[in-house]
């Protein structure tokens, strides 16, 4: 059941879609996404086409996302996500056992199915359109603060939430350690210039300083409430949709979700106005938090997210072309330094 919240925003056009050529219109019944959809919905419309939105196709070792045109409710499009079994079980738990019990909007969940003889499965959701959330727009941040406040407070009491993967500081300390090890291991890559190596060594030093002070950060987080954490609450994973009740927020892609301090979801809500909106949504339950506590959690959340991003990018430092990992790491290490000063 989808619950709706009255909200307001600007510039929302959920019908807008990017034009792409990757649309399959022939031999559709033999397409793996259509086959899997048929296991979930035995009686369904013939699809008008299948479009790949993410990934490299069915043989990808990671998640692949398709849009199946015209097979959903009232002829709407359906999003089909093929993902590893662990990811499937995590998202399935969230869509089946947690989100239906929360006072927030959710995407329509059609079901999930395991893929025979593989370690993959399929998840099917409504297509939320292409109007992405932007942390640069104040109205969007206000919607996010309201949504996250309602989600965090209400999910804290859902038994299934506590069974999710751990997302406390220890999880991000592992990112710090793994990222540091990957950087050190690849410093001898011939593709790196002397300037690149100097920058990477500076990142290692910064990570070492943060690790030495990790105990104080961890102790502070242990005084904070715990709940469902999305873990990657950014524009690419959130859509805005116009309904009869107003503009609603629709997060998806819960691959990094878990149970822990809500800091990672708050990284974009450090401004006083944003923190005040979130605080107004949680104050009746988390009365000791306060606006300053929200802002502090937001800064810690940015640190956590930077550590995860640095770890992910560091895994590409062994390649012959390292331009993209280095470019991204320069951005994240700058954000990390800024966050540490703020903290």
Q: Give residue limits of the domains in the chain.
A: 23-126, 138-342
Structure tokens that stand for 98 in this block: 């947690």
Percent over 70 (pLDDT), the chain: 91
Render pLDDT for 71-113 as a digit per residue (tens, 0 to 9).
999 899 999 999 999 999 999 999 999 999 999 999 999 999 9
Average of per-residue pLDDT across 282-297: 95
Quote the pLDDT of residue 342.
Answer: 82
What's the pLDDT band for 245 if we cut at 50, 70, 90?
confident
- The C-alpha atoms of residue 2 and residue 128 are separated, in whole angstroms, by 13
The domain made up of 138-342 is a member of CATH 3.30.70.20: no
The CATH fold assigned to 23-126 is: Phosphorylase Kinase; domain 1 (3.30.200)
Render pLDDT for 202-232 as a digit per residue (tens, 0 to 9).
999 999 999 999 999 999 999 999 999 999 9
Quote the pLDDT of residue 233.
Answer: 95
Quote the pLDDT of residue 58.
Answer: 53
Quote the pLDDT of residue 67.
Answer: 95
Chain centroid to Cα 195, Å, comes to: 33
Render pLDDT for 131-169 as a digit per residue (tens, 0 to 9).
989 989 999 999 999 999 999 999 999 989 989 999 999
Quote the pLDDT of residue 97.
Answer: 96
What's the pLDDT band for 45 if we cut at 50, 70, 90?
confident
- Average confidence score pLDDT of the chain: 89
What's the pLDDT band for 243 if we cut at 50, 70, 90?
confident
Quote the pLDDT of residue 19.
Answer: 40
Look at residue 15 and tell me whether its pLDDT is greater than 60. no
Look at residue 271 and tell me whether its pLDDT is greater than 90. no
Q: What is the pTM of this model?
A: 0.87
Q: Does residue 41 or residue 279 have the better pLDDT?
A: 279
Contacts 24+ apart (CB under 8 A), 48-52: 49/23, 49/24, 49/25, 50/23, 50/24, 51/20, 51/22, 51/23, 51/24, 52/22
Quote the pLDDT of residue 54.
Answer: 87
What's the pLDDT band for 17 if we cut at 50, 70, 90?
very low
Average of per-residue pLDDT across 258-275: 93
Percent over 90 (pLDDT), the chain: 74
What's the pLDDT band for 24 if we cut at 50, 70, 90?
confident
Q: Does residue 207 or residue 6 have the better pLDDT?
A: 207
Distances (CA, A) of 22 to 29, 50, 51, 55, 187: 17, 8, 6, 12, 39
Measured distance between the N- and C-terminal CA atoms of the chain, rounded to whole angstroms? 40
Quote the pLDDT of residue 244.
Answer: 83
Quote the pLDDT of residue 6.
Answer: 34
Quote the pLDDT of residue 59.
Answer: 54
């Amino acid at each position: 059941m989808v619950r709706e919240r009255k909200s307001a925003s600007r510039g929302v056009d959920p019908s807008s879609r990017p034009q792409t050529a990757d649309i399959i219109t022939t031999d559709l019944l033999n397409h793996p996404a259509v086959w899997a959809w048929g296991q979930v919905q035995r009686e369904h419309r013939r699809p008008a086409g299948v479009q790949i939105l993410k990934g490299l196709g069915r043989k990808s070792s990671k998640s692949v996302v398709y849009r199946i045109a015209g097979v959903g409710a009232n002829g709407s499009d359906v999003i089909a996500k093929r993902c590893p079994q662990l990811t499937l079980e995590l998202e399935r738990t969230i869509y089946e056992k947690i989100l239906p019990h929360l006072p927030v909007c959710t995407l329509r969940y059609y079901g999930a199915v395991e893929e025979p003889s593989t370690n993959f499965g399929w998840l099917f959701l409504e297509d939320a359109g292409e109007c992405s959330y932007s942390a640069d727009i104040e109205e969007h941040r206000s919607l996010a603060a309201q949504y996250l406040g309602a989600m965090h407070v209400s999910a804290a009491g859902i038994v299934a939430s506590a069974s999710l993967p751990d997302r406390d500081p220890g999880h991000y300390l592992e990112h710090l350690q793994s990222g540091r090890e990957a950087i050190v291991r690849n410093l001898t890559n011939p593709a790196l210039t002397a300037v690149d190596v100097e920058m990477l060594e500076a990142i290692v030093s910064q990570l070492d300083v943060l690790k030495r002070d990790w105990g104080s950060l961890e102790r502070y987080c242990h005084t904070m409430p715990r709940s469902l954490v999305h873990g990657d609450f950014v524009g690419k994973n959130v859509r805005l949709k116009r309904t009869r009740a107003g503009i609603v927020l629709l997060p998806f892609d819960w691959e990094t979700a878990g149970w822990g301090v809500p800091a990672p979801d708050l990284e974009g809500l450090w401004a006083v106005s944003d923190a005040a909106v979130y605080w107004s949504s949680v104050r009746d339950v988390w009365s000791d938090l306060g606006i300053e506590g929200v802002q502090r959690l937001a800064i810690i959340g940015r640190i956590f997210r930077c550590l995860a991003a640095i770890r992910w990018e560091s895994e590409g430092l062994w390649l012959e072309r390292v331009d993209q990992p280095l470019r991204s790491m320069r951005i994240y290490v700058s954000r990390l330094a800024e966050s540490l000063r703020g903290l």
